[in-house]
A and B are shown apart, each in its own frame.
Chain A
Amino acid sequence: DQQVKQNSPSLSVQEGRISILNCDYTNSMFDYFLWYKKYPAEGPTFLISISSIKDKNEDGRFTVFLNKSAKHLSLHIVPSQPGDSAVYFCAASGAGNNRKLIWGLGTSLAVNP
């Protein structure tokens, strides 16, 4: 049973427009959420994170929004660039001794020039 779900396997966006990638989770004990980006033939790289005590975290063109009541988070990329084309993974972890990151299956983003 997927505790972290990325329901859109793929997304296509025009350069300059906003990309919105969504992630839903089922475990209310998750307290930290991360987004990783993965290019082909490379390992995932950390992009941005958010703690459950916040509802928004921004880093340049990337903003993550967290809606705890809906158990939903989203990654906004504005403006989207062709170099943003990659697979984006959402991950979550729980409090206490549970360090295990639970991963979504990823969303493949294509930003078209």
Chain B
Amino acid sequence: DARVTQTPRHKVTEMGQEVTMRCQPILGHNTVFWYRQTMMQGLELLAYFRNRAPLDDSGMPKDRFSAEMPDATLATLKIQPSEPRDSAVYFCASGLDTLESPQSRNTIYFGEGSWLTVV
């Protein structure tokens, strides 16, 4: 059963600490997305990769957030230093974007999320 795997599921940390969230996309998928869900903003896109290359990180606060894909099976989202306003659920999603099926690019599959609390 293919699925997107995220770790940690829950994280409580103190303000100023570094937080790293990890994501294993579905095998064979070539797009990876990081989203943040808050009550007020809904699902905010933080970063988007295709074939491991960052395509769009305009939604990500650059001063403290960074996203990388060290290899095709791992995506990371790092917050340094963390702040209480970063408390949210962070979702990773993956999809398949090919020339043969351009519309399938839009169907993405989410992990269960990483619940972050910064105190």
Q: Name A residues whose Cβ lies closer than 8 Å to a Cβ of B.
A: 32, 34, 36, 41-46, 49, 51, 89, 91, 93, 99-101, 103-106
Contact = CB atoms under 8 A, between A and B. Distances in A.
Given A42-B112, A43-B91, A89-B43, A100 B103 contact: no
A101 to B, nearest CB: 7
Which of B48, B50, B106, B107 is packed against the most chain A CB atoms within 10 Å? B106
Nearest to A6: B42
Interface residues of B, number: 23
B110 A51 contact: no
A93 B106 contact: yes
Given A99-B31, A104-B42, A45 B110 contact: yes
B88 to A, nearest CB: 14
A32 B93 contact: no
Which of A32, A100, A105 is packed against the most chain B CB atoms within 10 Å? A100
A89 B43 CA distance: 9
B65 to A, nearest CB: 17
24 contacts: A32-B106, A34-B107, A41-B112, A41-B113, A42-B112, A43-B91, A43-B93, A44-B43, A44-B91, A44-B110, A45-B109, A49-B107, A89-B42, A91-B106, A93-B105, A93-B106, A99-B48, A99-B50, A99-B55, A100-B48, A101-B108, A103-B43, A105-B41, A106-B42
